[in-house]
Each structure stands twice: as structure tokens, then as C-alpha cells.
Amino acid sequence: MVDVHQPLRDNVRLLGDSLGKTIEDHLGTAILDTIETIRRLAKQGRAGDSESRARLEELLTTLSDEQILPVTRSFNQFLNLANIAEEVHRVRRRKHDSNQLMDDDTLPQQLVRLHNHGISKDDIVKQILALDIELVLTAHPTEAVRRTLIQKYDGIAECLRALDNVGDDTADGQRLVDRLKELISQAWHTNEIRTRRPTPVDEAKWGFAIIENSLWKAMPRFLRQLDESVEIATGHRLPLSAAPIRFASWMGGDRDGNPFVTSAVTREVLLLARWQAADLFSKDISDLRAELSMGDCNATLRQAVGDDEQEPYRAYLRQLSRRIEATQRWARDELAGRPADDSDILRHNEELLQPLLECDRSLRECGMDIIAEGMLRDIIHRAYVFGIHLLRLDIRQNSERHAQVFEELVAYYGWGNYAEWSEPQKQAFLLRELKDRRPLFPRDWVPSEEVQEVLATCRTVAQTPASALSAYVISMASVPSDVLAVILLLKEAGMSWNIPVAPLFETLDDLDNAQSCMQQLLDMPWYKAYTQGQQMVMIGYSDSAKDAGHLAATWGQFKAQEALTALCSERGVHLTLFHGRGGTVGRGGGPSHTAILSQPPRSVNGSIRVTEQGEMIRFKFGIPEIAVRNLELYTGAVLEATLTPAPAPKMEWRKLMDDMTAVSCREYRAMVRDNPQFVPYFRAATPEQELAKLPLGSRPAKRKVDGGVESLRAIPWIFAWTQMRLMLPTWLGSDQALARIEAQQRLDELRDMASEWRFFSAYLDMLEMVMAKTDTNTAAWYDQRLVGADLQPLGAELRTRLRDMIALYKRIRGRDELLVQNPVIKHSIGVRNPYIDPLHLLQAELMRRVRLYGEKGVPNQIDQALMVTMTGIAAGMRNTG
Ligand code: PGA
């Protein structure tokens, strides 16, 4: 039998050997021998040989400060190389599967399934045209790999792919292997830790690079595939304007807890996007003009270029090229603060589209459809999807910051204390001012700097064209006045259109009250008119889980969406739910199509927004082939959830969920909030404090500088527990809730729920995936090295609870092992463990040394090595946090 994974193993060996050779060339044989010994001991230790494990522990705790950095780096780099090989293998397998027609989840098959379900072909097409999926790239600090390394890794992946075609025993193959070695050596000799934090503008550029390097190619390819699938399944073709998926961004717009995102930054990022779009289209149009040398054209083109013109398309597009270049010049001058000429720039997407569509028409009218279907079609798709703004920006700010504006204003006028006003009082005031034409802000008012910044941002928003913005998101929203406050601020700034203002409900209480909050708003005729029949609401996954535990948050999110869906449908308002999901399960992550299909019935009503963050952006959209697949998965899932919504959960399931979540939330909080030992344990056993040093993103790890765990953002919270493999936030509390059900002998009910209710089975699957990534031996090691004797019993208790939880889970599902249904992930975790183990041992050791050095100052190589373990473990777990 052919071993389908042999190419993966061959690649891993090739990469591993080259890395070894690089290290040997650089640092000599002795260090390579040490690394080899560690690798061997780790492997044997994993296989159950306790003596090897003991020797490994001994070896890694006695490495000198000098030795520790290269050892750490070698394991980190190896894991990154293994990821590349896996990624390449995934594409390879997909190609193989589609050649064999084994993949039953392709779009044509899905469309046929929908038709078999009784949906007419016309309805399928109509729904595809109405789809409005927006994937929102955020700058959330979870991408641990530097951009310069990502580029090298992309190069390595390209070599591996090319090697598949030529084989390494040919001259071309040898050249590829040499290039591969060179790239591995370059990576080794490059510092994997950023020396400074990226600025928000750097982050935005990183987002643009994903578009330039991958999505620019992937999007037209996806749209062609979609069109073909629709034609096969329904006999209809899609119009060129069909754009079911678009991208939006938070990079440079999200200022929640990030003081570095200022109004000036937002303005700069908007201009940079204009420049970038113009740059990409300028290349496209120049390539297109080179190709469109045809002489025949329709009357419109002929009239535009005159009778003497031999090459009408080239001539006709010359004007567009000029305007694109003018746009580029203008954006560049604006960015440089120079006088900028905007007389000839592209202001509306129509101005980009119209000449392209005219060429398309002319070519078709003259019998050159085949030419229209080529490069021109790709560019038209890009013009519809990306357009002159490249991607739309969201603004996000915390509700407290908006309230602060009114606190200062009301105090200035001597009207009292806004913070102490009741909610009805605030609403009445805000509504009155919204309806009033006279300006509210006095000219001589000098508010605090923080307030000035909020006002400046609102002015920037008001000056930006509507087509460049998507929404204004209010984090930590809870009451109607949070929403009215933003609309009033924007009005005062001179806003001329009704930007969607989306409250983000992100604590359990706020999710529970979301429906009531929106109901109050929609009951206000003024507000209802403002919405123009469209309401966006954002659901916060991570903070709710941090607040109430994973199970209770998951159910809270479900119920909130259900209630909001019912409310909006009753009020005749179209609801778009915006899911603030992170990459990891603890922050609402997981396969997107499963997530979409397990949403409450009718909540995915053709439109959806989802955040895409950090390393997940790279994993899902960094390579065109994989990006196309993910775009397809999103489209298929949203279509399916819209046209064949899941049945509503049974009453008894709801009751059971209510009971379980009450227990899990109580138990979770009893530990996290009420156990006085918990926070000291968290601080001692996990690298939470050390993480703040890792310059992953532009924003600080905490919302407030001096805050405790409550103000710690969800990302470092999850990140810290992931690093030491207890993964506590995902299961704590659920263990007690499920144990209670077992004690009541009601496990069969859970099993029914798991087999009949997608939402619940998705919850269990995610829980299982996370539990498979836990490792109590590793967690115990951190305790042993880092936790004081007084706190050790707490660690032991948590590990026992986790073990019990895993055993109980297996009983629920009637399985002997975790992940039997998912052999690919199981295999991947198994293969990685021996390489991650040394990093864990080293991390605990490094944390110990860092804490010992303390005030005396930590030697640079120790700090550096500690940061390398963090990124290495993140690479090994394929998730930062
Ligand atoms: P936030 O996001 O802290 O920006 O709300 C949390 C997350 O993505 O996990």
C-alpha cells in the first residue's frame, strides 16, 4: 500500500537535516551533538522511558546560560520547519484528493445537496447573489512569527512544492535543494524575535501584504470556481459583480485599549490602503494594456478613442492608467505631508469599474469572449471585491471612552455628573441632542487629551468616504446609551451618513442583556430610522469565556444570538451578526464552517462578519490555494446555514444547558475569582508576566496599566495557560457541570444532544481538541520548578480535575482515546510532542532563572531564549493563544 504521508516524512527529514548542517557549520559539532541527544531523549521519554525523561530533565536544567539559547532556537526552528512541511502536505493531499474525486465537500457537491434538499436552482442563485460575508482582519497580537521569517518560510514552501514536480535527483531539483538550504541558513542567522514592537501602521502593512501576496490571486480564482460550480449545479452563470465575500480590517482602526492607534494613524492607514490599491491596480492595468492589442471594438469604445486609433483598448485604458497614477501620487504626497493634487484621482469605485466593464462589453460584442474571460475578468473581480480602498476599515473603541467625553462635557456645562445619571436620563439627553440641529460642543472647551483623541477620531471618520469604512464597533457595550453616545459623537463631528454602529457584547451579563438593550434601541423611532433597516451586533467570544468559563459563555452567545435574531425579525430589521472569534478554542476559534453551521437557526441570514486574527490569517489565507479553499468553505457554510437552517434545539436540551451552565459558571468563578490562591498560582506557574515582554503586537497586554487579572486581555490569558499546557480556561467549570450530569445518570441525554444538535457536538469536538493538547506531566513540571510549596496542592488539584474531566469525556463519547475521529490532528500532535517537550522544560527553567535574576537584571541571552520558547511552543501548538 502507498504510504500517503511518506512525502511529508521525506520533507521533514530534508528540512531537519539542513537545519542540523546549518547549526553545525555555525556553532560546531558539540552543540549539534547536545541537540541530537536532547531530541533522542525526548523521543524516548515520550515513548514512556522514564530514565530518558529523567536524563532529559537533568540535562536541560543544567545547560549554561550560553548554551541555552542555541538549543532553544534549534527546537523552535525545527517546529516552524515541520509546520511548513505539513502545510505543503495539506495542499498536496488536497490536489491528490480532488484528482481522485474523493473530496465530497466541494462547492458543486454542496450546491447539489442543497438542490436535493428541495431548494430550487433559482433560489440558490438568488441567495448566492445576496450573500454578504465580510472577513475582518485584525491586528490581534497572536502572530508570533516575524514577517521577514514568514517570507523565508514561504520561500521554503515554494521550493518543496517545486521539488514535487522535478524530484531532487535532477539538476533543477538540486538547485531547489540548494536554495532550500540557503533559506534555512538565512532563517537560522536571523533573530526570530522582533527587536521592537510593530507599530499599528506596520500591522496594517502586514494586512495589505496578505492581500498583495495571496488574496489578490486567490479571490478571482475563487470567484471563477464559484461561477463554474453554480453553472454545473444550476445551469446559470453569475454576473461579474457577484462578490459574496469581502475583506475588512481592524488594523489601524481598532483603538480599544491601544493608545498607539490614534486618529493620525487611522488617517495614515486609510491613505496607505488607497496607495496600495492604486499600486496593485496600476500593475494590473499595465499588464492588461500590454495584452489588449486587438483592433475590433464596439461603437462606445470607438467613439471614445476616435476613428484613427489602431489599438482602441490600449488607448481607452490609457486614461484609467493616468488616473490610477494620479491617485498614487496624491496618496504619496498626502502621506508625506506635501501639497497633494487631487484633481484627477479616482474617488469612486465606479470610476475604476466602468472602463473595465466597457472593455468587457466591447470584447464580447466583437466575438472575443475568450479574451474577456482572461486577465480582464480577474481584474474586474478585484475591482468589485477590493476596489479603490483595498479593504474597508472598522473603527473600534471602548464604551468607557465615549462615556468619558460626556462626563467631561456635562461637567463643563455644570449639568451634573453624567456617570451618575440613570440610564433613562442618559438616553433622554443623548436622544434630545441627536435630534437637535445646534452644535453641542462649545468652541472654547478644552477637554482632557483622552477625550480629544476620541473627538479627533470621530472627525477622521466623518471625513472618510463611506465606501472606505464598514462599521464603528463599541467594545464592552452593555446599554443603549453606549450606542447613542457614539452616534451623537459622530454627528457632532460632521458625519454625513449613517455608519453602522455595532455594540460588542462581551461579558456574560451583557450577552444575556443584549436583546433587551437592542429592543430598547429599536423601540426608539429615531434610532430605528437611523438603522435604515440594518443592524449589526458583535458577539464577543473571548472575553465572555474569560468572564464565565467556556461552556457558560458558549451557551450565552448562542442564546443572545437567538434572541437578537427573533427581535430583529419581528422588527423588520436585517441583523448581521459579527463574530469576534479568536484563533484558539478558548477564544471561540475552531473550523469556521463548523462554527457557522452550529449557529442558532436563522441567525446566519445571508450575511455574517467574522474576525480573522494573527497566525490564523496566515494559515487560512497566506497561500492562494489554501485561501481559495477557505473562501469556498465560508461560502458553502453560510449558504447552507441560510438556506437549510438547523432545527431549533429541543426544550429539554435547553433546560439541560441552562442547568449545566449555571454549575459551570459558578464553579469557574469560584476558582478564578474567589479562590485567594488562584491568582498567585496563575502568576507563578504560567509565563503570564514574562509574556508581556514578547513584542508580538502594537497593543499592551492589559487594558489598564496597573490592573490585575480582570484587566488582562483574553489573549495573554489563554496564551499563558497554553504555554504550560493546562489549557484551564477551556475546561474549568465544565468538568463539574458534566460530572453532575453523570451523577444524575443523565449521560444518555448528553449523547442524544451530541448526535442530534450540531451546536452541542461542535462544543464537544472543540473541547476534545483542546484536551488533546493538554499535558498534565508538562504542567506538573512547571509547578515543580516554579510554584511555591503552599500553592502546589492547588496545581495538583487542577491537574486531577483535568484528568477526571478527560476520563469523563471519554465515557460520554464511549471512546478509549481522544481524537480517534480526527487521526490527522492526533498524528500531528503526536509527532510534535517530542520537539515541544524540550521547549517546555527549557521554558520552565528559563522562567526560574529570570525570576532568580530579578532585580539584578536578566542577561540578554536568557530573556531572548525565554521568548524563543514562547514562540516555539506557539508554533508547536499551531496556536499562539
Ligand atoms: P479583544 O479580543 O481583547 O481585542 O477584545 C480578544 C480576543 O481576540 O481574544
In terms of C-beta density within 10 A (0-12 exposed, 13-18 middle, 19 or more buried), how is residue 336 classed? exposed
- Please count the residues of the chain: 881
DSSP H helical segments within 464-507, as ranges?
480-492
Residue 234 corresponds to which cell in the numbers above? 444550476
Q: Does residue 386 carry a pLDDT above 70?
A: yes
Region of poorest pLDDT, from 98-112, 320-334, 636-650, 734-748: 98-112
Percent of the chain at pLDDT exceeding 90:
85
Q: Taken in order 714, 716, 719, 724, is the CA torsion positive or negative?
A: negative
Which residues have C-beta within 8 Å of that of residue 207, sequence separation ≥ 6? 137, 139, 249, 251, 391, 617
pLDDT in the model for residue 584 = 87
If one residue of 137, 542, 613 were mutated to test the ligand 1 pocket, choosing by the most ligand atoms within 8 A of its CB, it would be 542
pLDDT in the model for residue 151 = 92
How many Å lie between the centroid of ligand 1 and the Cα of residue 745? 38
DSSP 92-142: HHHHHHHHTT--TTSHHHHHHHHHHTT--HHHHHHHHHH-EEEEEEE--S-
865 with 792, same domain: the answer is no
- The reply to whether 703 falls in a domain is yes
Of 821, 837, 859, at which residue does a domain stop? 821
Alpha carbons 310 and 5: distance in angstroms, whole number: 57
pLDDT in the model for residue 101 = 43
Q: Does residue 825 carry a pLDDT above 90?
A: no
Count CB-CB contacts under 10 A for residue 729. Answer: 26
- The reply to whether 421 falls in a domain is no
- The reply to whether 368 falls in a domain is no
Q: Does residue 169 carry a pLDDT above 80?
A: yes
pLDDT in the model for residue 704 = 76
What tens digit of pLDDT does each residue of 56-83 get?
A: 999 999 999 889 999 999 999 999 999 8
49 with 157, same domain: the answer is yes
Alpha carbons 494 and 500: distance in angstroms, whole number: 16
pLDDT in the model for residue 881 = 60
Domain interval for residue 848: 1-102+152-179+828-881
pTM (2 d.p.)? 0.95
Select the more confidently predicted residue: 764 or 615.
764
Count CB-CB contacts under 10 A for residue 307. Answer: 7
pLDDT in the model for residue 5 = 80
The β-bridge relationship of strands 607-613 and 574-580 is parallel
DSSP H helical segments within 686-746, as ranges?
688-691, 714-723, 728-731, 734-743
pLDDT in the model for residue 262 = 98
Q: Encode burial over 767-801: b for 16+ CB neighbours within 10 A, e otherwise.
A: bbbbbbbbbbebbbbbbebbbeeebbebbeebbeb
163 with 24, same domain: the answer is yes
- The reply to whether 610 falls in a domain is no
Of 821, 849, 867, at which residue does a domain stop? 821
Which residues have C-beta within 8 Å of that of residue 557, sequence separation ≥ 6? 511, 539, 541, 544, 588
Q: Does residue 109 carry a pLDDT above 90?
A: no
Number of domains in the chain: 2
Alpha carbons 732 and 717: distance in angstroms, whole number: 14
Mean pLDDT, the chain, whole residue set: 94
How many Å lie between the centroid of ligand 1 and the Cα of residue 475? 10
Select the more confidently predicted residue: 586 or 487.
487
List the residue whose alpha carbon is closest to atom 5 of ligand 1.
Answer: 543
Show contacts of 588-593: CB within 8 Å, 24+ apart. Answer: 588/541, 588/542, 588/545, 588/557, 589/616, 589/879, 590/762, 590/765, 590/766, 590/769, 592/630, 592/633, 592/634, 592/637, 593/633, 593/634, 593/636, 593/637
Q: Indicate which residues carry an active-site annotation.
A: 140, 546
836 with 816, same domain: the answer is no
- The reply to whether 204 falls in a domain is no
Count CB-CB contacts under 10 A for residue 302. Answer: 15
834 with 749, same domain: the answer is no
1 band by pLDDT with thresholds 50, 70 and 90: low
685 with 784, same domain: the answer is yes
Q: Does residue 587 carry a pLDDT above 70?
A: yes
Give the CA distances from residue 96 to residues 5, 105, 163, 668, in Å, rounded to whole numbers and listed in that order.
Answer: 12, 14, 16, 46
How many Å lie between the centroid of ligand 1 and the Cα of residue 613? 10
What tens digit of pLDDT does each residue of 441-491 get?
A: 998 999 999 999 999 999 999 999 999 999 999 999 999 999 999 999 999
List the residue whose alpha carbon is closest to atom 8 of ligand 1.
Answer: 582
711 with 667, same domain: the answer is yes
* Ligand 1, atom nearest to 718 Cα: 9
How many Å lie between the centroid of ligand 1 and the Cα of residue 731? 19
498 band by pLDDT with thresholds 50, 70 and 90: very high
Q: Does residue 365 carry a pLDDT above 70?
A: yes
What tens digit of pLDDT does each residue of 421-433 get?
A: 999 999 999 999 9
Of 795, 821, 847, at which residue does a domain stop? 821
Q: Does residue 794 carry a pLDDT above 90?
A: yes
How many Å lie between the centroid of ligand 1 and the Cα of residue 134? 18
Alpha carbons 580 and 540: distance in angstroms, whole number: 5
Mean pLDDT of 411-426: 97
Contact 65, 859 (CB under 8 A): yes
pLDDT in the model for residue 574 = 97
Which residues have C-beta within 8 Å of that of residue 334, sequence separation ≥ 6? 271, 340
What tens digit of pLDDT does each residue of 276-309 get?
A: 999 999 999 999 999 999 999 999 999 999 999 9
720 with 859, same domain: the answer is no
878 with 733, same domain: the answer is no
- The reply to whether 482 falls in a domain is no
Contact 827, 8 (CB under 8 A): no
Contact 203, 273 (CB under 8 A): no
Torsion of CA 253, 254, 256, 261, to 10 degrees: -50
- The reply to whether 411 falls in a domain is no
How many Å lie between the centroid of ligand 1 and the Cα of residue 606? 25
701 with 809, same domain: the answer is yes
796 with 858, same domain: the answer is no
830 band by pLDDT with thresholds 50, 70 and 90: confident
Residues with CB under 6 A from ligand 1: 140, 256, 475, 542-543, 582, 587, 613, 713-715
- The reply to whether 806 falls in a domain is yes
* Ligand 1, atom nearest to 504 Cα: 5
828 band by pLDDT with thresholds 50, 70 and 90: confident
694 with 781, same domain: the answer is yes
How many Å lie between the centroid of ligand 1 and the Cα of residue 658? 26
pLDDT in the model for residue 102 = 44
Alpha carbons 1 and 836: distance in angstroms, whole number: 31
* Ligand 1, atom nearest to 715 Cα: 9
